[in-house]
Amino acid sequence: KKKKNHSSVQVWRRQSCFMPFFEQGTRVWYTNKREDWCLGVVLSQQAHKLTVQPQVNALSEATPSDSGADAPVVVNAARVIAVEEGALQEQADMCAYAQLSEPVILQNVHTRFAQDRIYTYVGPILVSVNPYRPLPLYDAPTLQRYIGRQLGEEAPHLYALAEHAYRDMLREGMNQSVLISGESGAGKTEATKVILQYLAAVSGRVGGSPVERRLLEASPLLEAFGNAKTVRNNNSSRFGKNVLVYFSRVGAIQGAKIVNYLLEKSRIVAQAPEERNYHIFYQFCAGASKEERRTYGIMKANNFRYLQQCTEIPGVSDKAGFEQVRRSFDALGFAPGERASVFRSLAAILHLGNVDFVPSDKVADGSQVANMPVLNVVSDLLGVSVSNLAEALCNRSVGSSNRSSVYMRPLRVEDAIATRDALAKAIYGALFAWLVKRINKTFRFADGSKPGVSNSSSSSDSSYYASHAPFFISVLDIFGFEIFEQNSFEQFC
C-alpha cells in the first residue's frame, strides 16, 4: 500500500493481507537470510513465492544471493519492493526519489559514502555517515562558500544546515533548533562542534564577542569530563546536552547556555570490557605534574580500581589531552582554587575506589575498612573527618518518619562496597553539574550579565533573555546510547 507524506514522497507500507504481483523482468529489492537488501530481476511468481535472479549492486561486493553464487533465489513476494525508475541514480537530496524506501536510502548513502560524500539530504534533514578518518570538509574556504546560500545550492553539509537555521532565525524572527541524533559513534559530538564553529564564524562577521571563543573552548573540557571510550567509539558522549546560543537582532552572538542531561554515572565505578572510564581520569594520571602527583597522591591509571578495565586508547595521548584541559581552564578563566577543587574531587574518587572492606570484628553482619591509610587520603582530599567517613561507609542511618530518633545499622561487606561506589558516583555527578554551571558563567552578555546562572524557565527569565538577546539557536545532542542484542541499564536510560 502506498502512502504519501507531507513532502509527497511515497513510502511503502506492507500489509500481510496484500499479495503483490510482479511481472517477469521486473527489478526488485528483496532481503536474504541475513536481512540484507539485495537487487534482483523477477523470473517467475507462483502465489506468494517469487523466483529472483540476483544482481550486483552497491550494497553487495559480490552477487548478493544467500549462498554467494549467482543462482536464482526464492523469496516471499510480500517482502519485495519494486525498483522504481531512477531509484539507482545517486541523489544529493533523497526527496527526489519517487519511492523512498529503506533499500533506496541505503543504496544512495552507500554510493555517496564511497565517494567521500558523507552528507545527504532528506529535505531539511541531513543524513551523516561517520568516515572515521579526517576529510577536507571543514576548512575556511569551504565554510565561506556556504555563507548566505540557500539550502540545496551547495553540496549537503553541516554548514548548510547551520546557515539555514541562522538565516531563518534572522529572517523570520523565530528561535531555531538543530536536533542531532544517532547511535554511539555516529559523529554527533563532532557535528555539534562543527555547527558551533559555523555559528561563531558567521556571527563574527557582524560583530564578534569573547563568547564565541569561549563557546568553542568549552568543548574540550566537556569532552574530557563527559566522554569515554566505548566498544563502538573512542570518544563517546555519555551525557546529553543542549547548547543555546543567544543572538542579537543583527545576528551577533551575545551569550550562551549549556543544559546537560542524563550523565552516565554508573561508568564511574564499572565499565564493560574494552571500555574506559571518563577521559579526565586517565588524562589526570598521565599529565599531572610532580607537585600534583605528590599533593593528590596520583599514580599510574592501572593502580586505581576504577580505571583498570582499559587504560589506553591506541593513537591517543592522554597527556596531551590533559594539556588541552589546562588550556581550556585558562581560556575560560578558572581560578587556581577552582582547578585545585576539581583535581581534589577527581583524586578523591580514584582513591575512594581503592578502599577495601572486611567483615567487622566487633559487630555481627557488619563491616569495617580494611585499609585505613587509603581512607585517610580520601578524607584529607574531601576535607572531612576520617572517622565520620568510615562510619558513613560501613553503616546506614535509620530513623522514624519525623526523624525524632535515628540509629545506625551496620552494613555487610557487599553493602559497604555499594555505598562506597554510590558516594563516588555522587561526587562525580556533583562535580560535573558544577563544571557546567561554572562554564555557563563565562558566557556573559555584552553588559556582563550571565545567561547561564539559572536553568529556570520562568517568565522573568524569558523577558530577561529577550531584552538582551531576542533570538537563540538550540543545538541538541542527546541520542547517543547504544542498542545491543543484550542491553543493560545504561542502554535503556
3-state secondary structure of 471: strand
First to last CA, the chain: 36
- Strand 471-479 to 176-181 pairing: parallel
Report d(CA 454, CA 48) in Å as an integer.
Answer: 62
Nearest Cα to 280, choosing from 212, 213, 329, 333? 329
Active site residue 236: yes
The residue from 111, 120, 189, 209 that is catalytic is: 189
Active site residue 189: yes
10 Å CB burial of residue 236 (0-12, 13-18, 19+) is: buried
Task: Output the DSSP codes for 228-279.
Answer: E--SS-TTEE-SEEEEEEEE-TTS-EEEEEEEEE---GGGGT---TT--SBH
Question: Which three three-digit cell numbers place residue 168?
Answer: 531563518
3-state secondary structure of 339: helix
3-state secondary structure of 57: coil
The residue from 120, 209, 237, 367 that is catalytic is: 237
**Could you tell me what percentage of the chain is helix, strand and coil, using 3-state DSSP and rounding each to the nearest 5?**
40, 20, 40
Active site residue 405: no
Confirm if 347 and 297 have CB atoms less than 8 A apart.
Answer: yes
For the chain, the maximum distance between any two Cα atoms, rounded to a whole number of angstroms, is 86
Which amino acid, 108? Answer: N
Active site residue 185: yes
Question: Which three three-digit cell numbers place residue 28?
Answer: 526488485
The residue from 101, 233, 345, 442 that is catalytic is: 233
Confirm if 393 and 419 have CB atoms less than 8 A apart.
Answer: yes
The residue from 101, 184, 367, 379 that is catalytic is: 184
The residue from 63, 128, 185, 367 that is catalytic is: 185
Show the CA angle centred on residue 58, arms to residues 55 and 61, nearest 5°: 75
Confirm if 233 and 274 have CB atoms less than 8 A apart.
Answer: no
Q: How far is CA 373 from the centre of its chain?
A: 38
33: left (phi over 0), alpha (psi -120 to 50) or beta: alpha
Active site residue 455: no
The residue from 90, 275, 312, 482 that is catalytic is: 482
The residue from 108, 120, 236, 419 that is catalytic is: 236
Residues known to be catalytic = 184-185, 189, 233, 236-237, 480, 482
